[in-house]
Amino acid sequence: FEHSLLRARIRSQLRIKRLTDQLERTEHVIFMLALAVEAKDTYTEGHLRRLSSYSEQLAAASGLSPQHVKAIRFGGLLHDIGKISIDDAILRKSGKLTAEEYDQIKRHPEYGARIVQAMRFAAEVGPIIHHHHERWDGGGYPDGLAGEAIPIGARIVAIVDAYDAMMTDRPYRRSLGLEETLRRLRAGRGCEWDPVLLDRFVQLIEDGALQEPQVEQ
């Protein structure tokens, strides 16, 4: 073998290894940032864990590939990471937001997509984060996408995010309960949420097949 070529290849592999290690550390920091966002609000304790689990279950029930399911699981965990860039006073405000404050809140999907750009799976997870507030009828944000133009991972996260928000206590209201939550989800079928995915998610709930994530000890 050629010594100079061997040395060049070894140097190349070492550079790749250093970059990979760097990415792994970066991803760890990003996941910690996501948990830091959740920790700011005691009302959303466990929200990310539930969202990640519910998103994964709906993705699997929809017959998506294991790689796609994994990306959607990460998307559920990281969907609100962009809120790290939003003023805490706005995030914790119990009253109605002003137009300016709401405009700030609406930037968090874009901020989040930028934050995860350093991750190895940014190409799969970034669009989920960026578009999880789009609506099936095109009335969402940040880009006003409609129907199947919205990445399927973002459509899944949007449904389970709404479900979990309605099922938990928030500063401005108590949990709506399962019956009212399902009524509101059905009311948004085909306008706010993908009708096929919504029906599938509701069926998981009604069949008792939606599993609660295990609480880590």
DSSP assignments along 70-102, one per residue: HHHHHHHHHTTGGGGGS-HHHHT--SPPPHHHH
155, two tokens: 């459509």
Report how far residue 136's alpha carbon sits from residue 113's, in angstroms, rounded to the nearest whole number: 20
pLDDT above 90 (res 209):
yes
Question: 197-206, pLDDT tens digit by residue?
Answer: 999 999 999 9
The answer to whether 202 and 186 are in contact (CB under 8 A) is yes
This prediction's pTM? 0.83
- Weakest-pLDDT range from 33-37, 38-42, 91-95, 186-190: 38-42
The pLDDT > 70 percentage for the chain reads: 85
pLDDT above 60 (res 216):
no
pLDDT of residue 176: 93
Average pLDDT over all residues of the chain = 87
Question: 12-27, pLDDT tens digit by residue?
Answer: 677 656 655 655 666 6
| Closest to 166 measured CA to CA, from 182, 186, 181 | 181
Q: 204: how many CB neighbours lie within 10 A of its CB? A: 16
Q: Quick one: pLDDT band at residue 63, thresholds 50, 70, 90?
A: very high
pLDDT above 50 (res 104):
yes
pLDDT above 80 (res 57):
yes
Q: Quick one: pLDDT band at residue 101, thresholds 50, 70, 90?
A: very high
What is the set of active-site residues? 83
148, two tokens: 């199947």
pLDDT of residue 190: 97
pLDDT of residue 217: 41
pLDDT above 90 (res 36):
no
Across 156-177, average pLDDT: 88
pLDDT of residue 87: 87
Return the higher-pLDDT residue of 147 and 87.
147
